[in-house]
């Protein structure tokens, strides 16, 4: 059963490869908010501070908040990239992550070879990877491009491939950063359909985005981060407020990130 449970979660980025002394002088004095000195007298950026939340099965959660609020850091922490400096994090369920579409891809390999490589990253065998490639080919709709080196792919084609790979493995928890909005309208419609299926299978979706249209359409709950803290957590309508009466974008076309 899928579950994400965080209690007092904190992530700090030490600033190692900078001139610490000049940073100290410039930053500590001006904005003491997120930069501080830790016990070893190092300068650290508090990326996430004291996060406590629980996401259960079937929830579709949007992470919203301004740039630098800690949305992507939280996604990576849930994925298991960063080890928290404080607090406790329990993640139950197989994770599919759509955080960086290019990570682990080899631009010189073909789309198909990349799918097989990705399968190896996940600890599968090459044969399983080949089977997965067939599945991905069906969904990504890349046609002959699947057997071309991906360095010739457009941004949208990369997104298609990455999305198809991440969701073909039917993860129980899907982590998603906002880049997937680069797909074209036709693909977005199919992606939506696939996500809907994924979520109705009692899974968790955790998505970081600035696009409130996506949040209202796909999510049931929103967590608003600001300066690494949770400032609001609840049903989408409650956190975002009423739908603004602005002219709605054409169906299928997403507004650019605000």
Partner 1 sequence: MPNATRHVHLFDAADPRRRELALEDLGGALSRWRLAWALARSDIMHRYRGSVLGPFWLTLSTGIMLASLGILYAKLFRIDVTDYLPYLAVSLILWNLVSALVNDASVCLTGQEGVIRQMPLPYSVHALRSVLRNAVIAAHNLPLIAVVFWVFGLGAGWTLLLAIPGFMLVMAGGFAASLLLGMLCARFRDIPPIIGSVMQIAFFLSAIIWKPEMVGHWEPLLPINPFFAVIEVVRAPIMGTTGSLFTWLAAIGWVGALIAVAWSFFVRFRGRIAFWV
- Contacting residues toward partner 1, per CB under 8 A: 10, 13-14, 16-17, 76, 79-97, 99-100, 102-104, 106, 108-109, 117-118, 120-126, 166, 169, 171-172
Q: Please, which residue, 28 or 103, has the CB nearer to partner 1?
A: 103
The least distance separating partner 1 from the CB of residue 218, rounded to whole angstroms, comes to 21
> What is the Rg, in whole angstroms, of the alpha carbon atoms belonging to the chain?
20
Q: Please, which residue, 85 or 232, has the CB nearer to partner 1?
A: 85
CA proximity to 204, closest of 62, 52, 50, 6: 62
Beta strand residue intervals within the chain, DSSP E: 3-14, 35-37, 43-55, 60-64, 86-92, 95-98, 173-176, 204-208, 221-226, 229-235
Burial class (CB in 10 A: 0-12, 13-18, 19+), 65: buried
The least distance separating partner 1 from the CB of residue 221, rounded to whole angstroms, comes to 21
The least distance separating partner 1 from the CB of residue 9, rounded to whole angstroms, comes to 9
The least distance separating partner 1 from the CB of residue 205, rounded to whole angstroms, comes to 15
The least distance separating partner 1 from the CB of residue 118, rounded to whole angstroms, comes to 6
Q: Please, which residue, 4 or 239, has the CB nearer to partner 1?
A: 4
The least distance separating partner 1 from the CB of residue 94, rounded to whole angstroms, comes to 6
Q: Measuring CA to CA, how many Å separate 55 from each of 35, 67, 91, 172?
A: 29, 23, 10, 12
Q: Please, which residue, 91 or 195, has the CB nearer to partner 1?
A: 91
Q: Please, which residue, 17 or 21, has the CB nearer to partner 1?
A: 17
Angle 198-200-201 from CA coordinates, rounded to 5°: 65
Provide the b/e sequence for 206-227 (b: ≥16 CB within 10 Å). Answer: bbbbbbbebbeebbebbbbbeb
Angle between helices 111-121 and 126-140 (to 10 degrees): 130
Q: Please, which residue, 104 or 213, has the CB nearer to partner 1?
A: 104
The answer to whether the beta carbons of residues 201 and 57 sit under 8 Å apart is no
């Amino acid at each position: 059963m899928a579950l994400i449970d965080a209690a007092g979660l904190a992530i700090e980025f030490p600033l190692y490869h900078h001139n610490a002394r000049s940073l100290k002088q410039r930053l500590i004095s001006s904005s003491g908010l997120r930069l501080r000195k830790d016990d070893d007298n190092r300068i650290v950026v508090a990326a996430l501070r004291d996060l406590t939340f629980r996401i259960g099965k079937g929830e579709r959660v949007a992470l919203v908040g301004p740039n630098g609020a800690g949305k992507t850091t939280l996604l990576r922490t849930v994925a298991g990239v960063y080890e928290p400096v404080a607090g406790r994090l329990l993640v139950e369920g197989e994770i599919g992550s759509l955080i960086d579409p290019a990570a682990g891809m080899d631009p010189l390999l073909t789309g198909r070879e990349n799918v097989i490589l990705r399968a190896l990253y996940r600890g599968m065998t090459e044969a399983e990877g080949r089977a997965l490639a067939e599945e991905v080919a069906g969904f990504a709709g890349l046609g002959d491009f699947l057997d071309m080196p991906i360095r010739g792919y457009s941004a949208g084609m990369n997104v298609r491939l990455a999305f198809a790979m991440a969701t073909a493995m039917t993860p129980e928890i899907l982590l998603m950063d906002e880049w997937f909005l680069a797909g074209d309208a036709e693909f977005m419609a199919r992606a939506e359909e696939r996500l809907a299926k994924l979520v109705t299978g009692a899974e968790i979706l955790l998505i970081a985005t600035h696009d409130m249209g996506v949040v209202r359409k796909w999510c049931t709950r929103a967590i608003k981060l600001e300066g690494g803290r949770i400032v609001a957590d609840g049903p989408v309508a409650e956190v975002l407020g009423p739908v603004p009466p602005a002219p709605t974008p054409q169906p299928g076309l997403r507004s650019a990130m605000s």
